[in-house]
Structure 1
Amino acid sequence: MTDYIVRATAANNQIRAFAATTRELAEYARMIHNTSPIATAALGRLLTAGSMMGSMMKGEKDILTLQIQCSGPIKGLTVTADANANVKGYVVNPEVMLPPSESGKLDVGKALDLGILNVIKDMGLKEPYVGQTHLVSGEIAEDLTYYYATSEQVPSSVALGVLMNRDNTVKQAGGFIIQLMPFAEEEVITRLEEKISKITSITALLDKDMTPEMILEEILGDFGLEIMETIPTKFQCNCSKERVEKAIVSIGRKDIQEMIDDGKPIEVNCHFCNQHYSFELPELKDILKRSRPNG
């Protein structure tokens, strides 16, 4: 089954909810970046969050970026998503290895440790919106819950999970974001908090092969759950040789001339999808003709 997101409302629109299954995109990210299990878990969680948060964007050309800068051995993660829930991302140190946490799980919190979460929304305005919060646990879901409460003043519950097979491939991945609308009644808030507190973990739900619809039914079934739409999501990078060429053009004649003087072709690597682009000397000479004179 391919990855998708379900958008829903409950309690007469007092609650809005998103749930996603993202096993395929998390596994694809693991393969192209050759990530360790802990890096797979961290990146899979952030990609899942990015896909759901991207799907919340209104404009066709809106872009969301989730960036974590941290002091832990993973060193940082970046994920970007568009309004169609196409998502891509990478970790700075994909080979990070750590012993399991006290509960025997992958210790994503320790891999990230202290740091900052940036949420950047580029909606085609002069300046993008940037929200920034400190990492509260490094477990990513809790950090996003905190971000929503402090930067957007939207009471939210974020759950993200990646379950690994013994051969270190991704067994299950997914999550949910449940948010209270400003007009939510006190009784609805209390009942929802009670319901969410009873959920052991998102990975436990995923391990039962529960679909996004089943997960939302489990949490919001008593609130008059209404499924609004199903949105496909996938790992997709929009890099191309033409885009990389434009980037080389922009670095200026001096640097391009130095590359030509070296007498060797250059290779440029895309961070997001690990695609390699090679430029031979004749191509570099052609780029030089089009580059800006003062570089």
Structure 2
Amino acid sequence: MTGDYVATGTTRSGHIVGYAARSTNLVRTLQERHDTWPVASAALGRVATMGAIMTVGLKRDDHQVTIQVRGNGPLGNILVVATGRGDVRGMIDEPHVELELNAYGKLNVGTAVGCEGSLYVTKDLGLKEPYRGSVPLVSGEIGEDFTYYYAVSEQTPSAVSVGVLVDRDFSVISAGGILVQALPDVEEEELRALEDAMARLPNVSSLIRDGATPEDLLRMACGSNLQVLDQKPVQFQCTCSKERLGRVLLSLGRDELKKLADEQETTELVCHFCLTKYHFTREEVLSFHDVAKY
């Protein structure tokens, strides 16, 4: 399969399941939409890649998962929403952050996100109440934080590696990730082999840059006895529309709408996820004023 997608596989024993994503186009679009600088591209891209991977667990197109990373670093809040259709969108508070490289010569995502804060995951599966889970941030590097999330919030031993490779001109070269989970009946030997393989796994974004597919990533982690079960396309897609933004205007209430109509000929609203601008004429604003309930 070409383009961005998530591959799902399992070992022949059925004791280990893995999900691997190529998310280059998705992360590239996020970078272009939000004009993110390298460390912001890496942080937002890693969270978006995990959102793409988590779409595999959504059984219906209208099911969705919302991921929020709220650290004490200069990037501020990171928010990603992904649907069962494979559509992913995201935003970041501060796209223009510049930091020195870390001790390994890599983008300092942990410092940019912050190691104090929380990772929140909300799954809307069409039930009366959505599933909500949260954990404290471990490092702000995203991969380690999700490993901890799965262990604590979903009680599933997991290993996560996500990466974004950014060029000198701030463009995204490659992006991807892998999530491998051990199921309850896993044997000690299998688990040890998995841990060793994940520890030896090279940087995921570099592997994808060099032509590795998601299936290749799974084989590197799970071994040659991997069975590929499914492939799911993922892509950037925002759900905004003028109608949706109109509901935001309506929620302002009659007094604020009257003030907007009096002060300006045109009111502009901007979608936080894709930065598309929507314009409402004075007449349109007044029409919302006329139907507002308060």
Q: TM-score, normalised to structure 1's length?
A: 0.95
| Other-structure match for 2:63 | 62
Count of residue pairs brought into register by the alignment: 292
Moved more, 252-261 or 228-237: 252-261
1:215 Cα deviation from its structure 2 partner: 1.2
- The separation in 2 between residues aligned to 1:78 and 1:202, in whole angstroms, is 22
Please say which of residues 57-66 and 38-47 is displaced more in the overlay: 57-66
Report the CA distance between 1:149 and its aligned residue: 0.3
Alignment correspondent of 2:131 = 129
For residue 211 of structure 2, the aligned residue among 206, 209, 222 is: 209
Cα shift at 1:250: 2.5
Q: Corresponding residue for 1:21?
A: 22
* Structure 1 counterpart of 2:154, from 152, 155, 163: 152
Alignment of 1:63-82 (within 5 A): 63-82=64-83
Q: 2:199 aligns with which of 193, 197, 200?
A: 197
Give the structure 1 partner of residue 251 of structure 2. 250
Partner of 2:13: 12
* Distance of 1:102 and 1:191 partners within structure 2: 29
Task: Tell me the residue number matched to 2:45.
Answer: 44
Residues 187-232 of structure 1: per-residue CA shift (max 9 Å, x gap): 221221122222233234234321111111222233x211111111
8 Å CA contact 2:12–2:227 kept in 1: the answer is no
Q: Which amino acid aligns with 1:76?
A: N
TM alignment of 1:87-106, pairs within 5 A: 87-106=88-107
Alignment of 1:260-279 (within 5 A): 260-279=261-280
Asked if 1:163 is matched to 2:173, the reply is: no
Deviating 4+ runs (over 6 angstroms)? none
Correspondence for 2:234: 233
Alignment gaps of 5+ in structure 2: none
**Letter of the 2:210 counterpart:** K
User: Is the CA contact (8 Å cut-off) linking 1:50 and 1:81 kept in structure 2?
Assistant: yes
Identity within the alignment, %: 38
- 1:87/1:237 contact within 8 Å kept: yes
CA distance, structure 2, for counterparts of residue 197 and residue 166 of structure 1:
28
1:192 partner letter? L
Structure 1 unaligned runs (5+)? none
Is the contact made by 1:265 and 1:279 (CA closer than 8 Å) also made in structure 2?
yes
